[in-house]
């Protein structure tokens, strides 16, 4: 690399699998760090090698439980106190992103709170992917590199060579993402309109557009309990769709998501490895984002543009 400052990559406990892949792609070793745990659940972080003057990249998705976020905050603070030159948080899945605004009275804006905590801890930059809401970038007063999983998903969609392809969004909020894919692939787009009784419970869903005789790919930024995805797939199948697949960035996959997916009319559920997925799901297909993040880390360290990564 051209940059005069050395760089180091460290990982939180829950995202080590991905950090190791990223380091393999970079051709470097994962930094040595110790997590000391106490009997009451408290834990402490210490770096086992010098990072003075380094560009330090800290890889950790902040999915629940809150220990993952707290671990990252302690990693940032320890790096700052160890005289790191720059501290870059690499957060493939940015948790609490669904709380991005006040949608009813007397609620917290969790995404802004997390942004404030990361900034106060001392990050100089954030690298993340497919935020639940684009405006979360504005919650930070440091540069944000917002990557898109389309970089790895589109080549896979091309490789399937599906005829009569239709791109679908399971909710109106995802229409921008679906529209970008449909324009790039040169195919039609359909929308699902849903109403909820409460969080994770869909009461009613209707399709806006024609799916009869089509191979449908549903796009979303995350799958939690899979209620929306599987209901959309079943409705589209009943409406005459030839096949229905789902391409989702972040596999939250809370129970009973795996069971719902396997029992649904979905042909395949494709997602990234931004969150560790250790459950059994016969229809799941995981695509690694390690090379994309490794290339971004390389470019950030050398001061090169990352815009070449964006297919759409």
Q: Rounded to 5 degrees, what are φ and ψ at 132?
A: -60, -30
CA 186/CA 30 separation, integer angstroms: 41
Distance of CA 21 to the CA centre of its chain: 16
Peptide bond connecting 65 to the previous residue in cis, omega within 30 degrees of 0:
yes
> Token pair 């769709």 is at which residue?
241
Distance of CA 204 to the CA centre of its chain: 27
The catalytic residues are 194
- Enumerate residues 6+ apart whose C-beta is below 8 A from 189: 166, 167, 168, 169, 175, 178, 179, 181, 182, 209
Do residues 83 and 64 touch, judged by C-beta distance below 8 A? no
Do residues 149 and 251 touch, judged by C-beta distance below 8 A? no
Give helix then strand counts, H and E, for the chain.
Answer: 8, 14
Please enumerate, as own/partner, the contacts of 12-15 that have beta carbons within 8 Å and a separation of 24 or more: 12/58, 12/59, 12/60, 12/68, 12/71, 12/72, 12/75, 13/68, 13/71, 14/60, 14/61, 14/63, 14/68, 14/71, 14/276, 15/59, 15/60, 15/61, 15/68, 15/92, 15/276
Do residues 102 and 113 touch, judged by C-beta distance below 8 A? no
- Enumerate residues 6+ apart whose C-beta is below 8 A from 257: 223, 224, 225, 226, 281
């Amino acid at each position: 690399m051209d940059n005069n400052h050395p760089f180091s990559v460290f990982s939180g406990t829950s995202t080590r699998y991905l950090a190791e892949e990223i380091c393999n792609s970079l051709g470097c070793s994962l930094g040595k760090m110790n997590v000391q745990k106490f009997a009451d659940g408290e834990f402490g972080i210490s770096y086992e090698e010098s990072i003075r003057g380094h560009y330090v990249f800290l890889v950790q998705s902040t999915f629940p439980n809150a220990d993952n976020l707290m671990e990252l905050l302690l990693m940032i603070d320890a790096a700052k106190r160890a005289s790191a030159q720059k501290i870059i948080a690499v957060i493939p899945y940015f948790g609490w992103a669904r709380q991005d605004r006040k949608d009813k009275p007397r609620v917290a804006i969790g995404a802004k709170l997390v942004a404030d905590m990361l900034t106060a801890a001392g990050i100089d930059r954030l690298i993340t992917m497919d935020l639940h809401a684009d405006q979360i970038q504005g919650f930070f007063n440091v540069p944000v590199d917002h990557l898109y999983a389309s970089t790895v998903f589109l080549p896979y969609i091309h490789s399937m060579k599906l005829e009569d392809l239709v791109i679908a969004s399971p909710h109106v909020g995802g229409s921008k993402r679906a529209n970008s894919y449909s324009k790039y692939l040169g195919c039609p787009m359909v929308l699902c309109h849903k109403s909820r009784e409460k969080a994770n419970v869909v009461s009613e869903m209707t399709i806006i557009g024609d799916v009869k005789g089509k191979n449908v790919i549903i796009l979303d930024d995350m799958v939690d309990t899979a209620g929306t995805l599987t209901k959309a797939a079943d409705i589209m199948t009943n409406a005459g769709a030839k096949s229905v697949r789902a391409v989702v960035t972040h596999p939250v996959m809370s129970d009973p998501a795996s069971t719902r997916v396997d029992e649904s009319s979905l042909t395949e559920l494709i997602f990234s490895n931004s969150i560790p997925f250790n459950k059994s799901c016969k229809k799941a297909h995981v695509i690694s984002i390690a090379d994309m993040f490794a290339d971004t880390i390389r470019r950030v360290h050398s001061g090169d543009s990352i815009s070449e990564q964006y297919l759409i």
